[in-house]
Amino acid sequence: MSASLRCAGIQRFADTYLDGEFGDRERVEFEAHLEGCETCRDKVREQAAWHRGIRDAGPHERAPAALRNRVQRAIARDAQPVRPWRRFSTRAVPLAAVGGILATLMFSKVHWSPVAADVIAKHQRNLPIEVSGGVDQLKRWYAGKVDFPVRPPRLPHAALRGGRLSDIGERQAAYLVYDVGGNKVSVFIFDPGNESLESQRKAIIDNHEVYFDQERGYNVAMYRDRGVGYAIASDLDSGQMYKLVSAAVAP
Ligand SMILES: [Zn+2]
């Protein structure tokens, strides 16, 4: 990474940074940029909120001792009362806002879910819609076609564009397309049977186990609700995706 990290690069690598995967030099450059750039600070904070809600699903180990120590020092420094002469200090105080997450970060091996792979592949294709309309129209349309209840999730700031019949692996699926601020969001509803929806990262949201995955710039979330499987793919960033799914699983 060059010495002149720009905003786009910073934001693209926010997850890498929050996962503690940077070398020392990259980390110092990254943090130096955050000190001077409010936009990127906000972005990283938003990503950090997502990380905070996430627990790795796979086998994991504690963050390396050196990283933990560094983070604990950063937190201790920030906890000190701010003296007047420190007000214009250039030290990395903003970073302490995200430092607390690093302290408890876990690392895991990547575990790529076949459901996630399938859902992303379909999301990327612009499959035509077979039925358009609101929630009630779609429910009626699917009623005689699939043998599980289709309850389109209520997504914030989203317009339901329509749906079509689809599949996940060998299973029949209802595929719903939403528009969220100009971004396409694909929602697959299916009977998951005993199939595991486990994936890279796990979050407990409103008593639901939600699994998140990320590949080729797309975010996926998978969960069960009342025996029905949901897989959501989008080109939203991970922070926006976390908010969207949190709203979807709320009662
Ligand atoms: Zn920036």
- In tens, the pLDDT along 32-41 reads 888 888 888 8
What confidence tens digit (pLDDT) does each residue in 120-161 have?
A: 889 988 889 999 988 999 999 999 899 999 999 999 999 999
With vertex at residue 238, the alpha carbon angle to CA 221 and CA 136, rounded to the nearest 5 degrees, is 50
What confidence tens digit (pLDDT) does each residue in 53-106 have?
A: 665 444 444 455 555 555 555 544 444 433 333 333 333 334 444 443 333 333
Distance 24 CA to ligand 1 centre (A): 19
> What's residue 2's pLDDT?
38
Distance 20 CA to ligand 1 centre (A): 19
Distance 213 CA to ligand 1 centre (A): 26
With vertex at residue 72, the alpha carbon angle to CA 70 and CA 74, rounded to the nearest 5 degrees, is 70
Distance 197 CA to ligand 1 centre (A): 36
Report the alpha-carbon distance of residue 64 to residue 51 in Å, rounded. Answer: 18
Report the alpha-carbon distance of residue 247 to residue 8 in Å, rounded. Answer: 28
Distance 17 CA to ligand 1 centre (A): 14
Using 50, 70 and 90 to split pLDDT, how confident is the model at 22? confident
> What's residue 137's pLDDT?
92
**In the predicted model, what is the mean pLDDT of residues 169-196?**
92
> What's residue 189's pLDDT?
97
Kindly report, as residue ranges, where domains of CATH 3.30.200.100 are found in the chain.
114-249
Distance 180 CA to ligand 1 centre (A): 25
191, two tokens? 């009977």
Thinking of the domain 114-249, which architecture would CATH place it in? 2-Layer Sandwich (3.30)
Q: Which of 128, 118, 230, 219 is nearest to 174 (CA)?
A: 230
Using 50, 70 and 90 to split pLDDT, how confident is the model at 18? confident
**In the predicted model, what is the mean pLDDT of residues 172-193?**
94
Q: Which of 178, 162, 169 is nearest to 233 (CA)?
A: 178
H or E, element range at 47 = helix 38-53
> What's residue 251's pLDDT?
67
> What's residue 218's pLDDT?
86
Q: Indicate the range of 42-51, 110-119, 189-198 predicted with least confidence.
A: 110-119
**In the predicted model, what is the mean pLDDT of residues 23-39?**
84
> What's residue 94's pLDDT?
43
Distance 43 CA to ligand 1 centre (A): 9
Distance 34 CA to ligand 1 centre (A): 7
> What's residue 71's pLDDT?
52
**Confidence check: pLDDT of 184 > 90:** yes
Distance 220 CA to ligand 1 centre (A): 26
> What's residue 91's pLDDT?
37
β-strands 183-190, 171-180: how paired?
antiparallel
Q: What percent of the chain has pLDDT over 90?
A: 32
**In the predicted model, what is the mean pLDDT of residues 236-245?**
89
The contacts of residue 49 (CB under 8 Å, 6+ apart) are 239, 242
Q: Which of 201, 195, 206 is nearest to 229 (CA)?
A: 195
Distance 95 CA to ligand 1 centre (A): 14
Report the alpha-carbon distance of residue 222 to residue 245 in Å, rounded. Answer: 9
| Reported pTM | 0.60
> What's residue 12's pLDDT?
78
Distance 63 CA to ligand 1 centre (A): 27
Which is more confident, 226 or 67?
Answer: 226
